[in-house]
Amino acid sequence: MEAQGIATREEFSAAVAQYGQPLLRYCHHILCNYEEAQDAVQTAFLKAWEGRERFRAGTSLSAWLYRLAYTTCVDLLRARRLRPLPPPAFGGRDYIGPELRRALQTLTARERALVFGRVMEERPYSELEEIYRIPAATLRKRYERARAKLARALTEQEGTYETQ
């Protein structure tokens, strides 16, 4: 699947089946909003289908789809102008607890995407380099900084709960 792309409807359906849920988790961790994440994944797959002739044989379909999802999430964040995130609607699906949600909001979208790629998906820096088109050494340093920032945010929250 990686080498052939999504030239046919069958290949596209297979890509949606294989990458739909992982991309949804990825977008959800960037946007911290399940409904927006669903929209982002749909938009990313639409972009993939419409731009399927631009997919280069020999490149990673996974990296290409993640790149489309990432840019779609960034576009959504720009559209909402980084207004505070509302809590999820009652009964809505949300995989992020309130403490983690607050801590993740201290990170930029780029930092959230990088942390998710390294921690949740265990992607190597070489693959992240292909997704973000940034050298692996730079990504390594950004990840270390984002991880430290997230740890500080979680520690500060813990201190806040202890004083209450």
- Interatomic CA distance for residues 6 and 61, integer angstroms: 8
- Interatomic CA distance for residues 53 and 29, integer angstroms: 29
pTM over 0.75: no
Q: What is the pLDDT of residue 22?
A: 95
pLDDT over threshold 80, residue 82: no
Higher pLDDT, 145 or 92: 145
Residue 93's pLDDT band (cuts 50, 70, 90): low
User: What is the residue-averaged pLDDT of the chain?
Assistant: 84
Residue 27's pLDDT band (cuts 50, 70, 90): very high
Task: 136-139: list long-range contacts, CB under 8 Å, 24+ apart.
Answer: 139/114
- Per-residue pLDDT of 133-164, as tens digits, reads 899 999 999 999 999 999 999 998 876 544 44
- Interatomic CA distance for residues 92 and 90, integer angstroms: 5
- Interatomic CA distance for residues 118 and 113, integer angstroms: 9
Fold topology of 9-163 = Butyryl-CoA Dehydrogenase, subunit A; domain 3 (1.20.140)
Q: What is the pLDDT of residue 77?
A: 85
Residue 19's pLDDT band (cuts 50, 70, 90): very high
Among 7-11, 46-50, 116-120, 156-160, top mean pLDDT goes to 46-50
**Arithmetic mean of pLDDT, 110-130:** 90
Query: In this structure, what token pair is assigned to residue 132?
Result: 């973000």
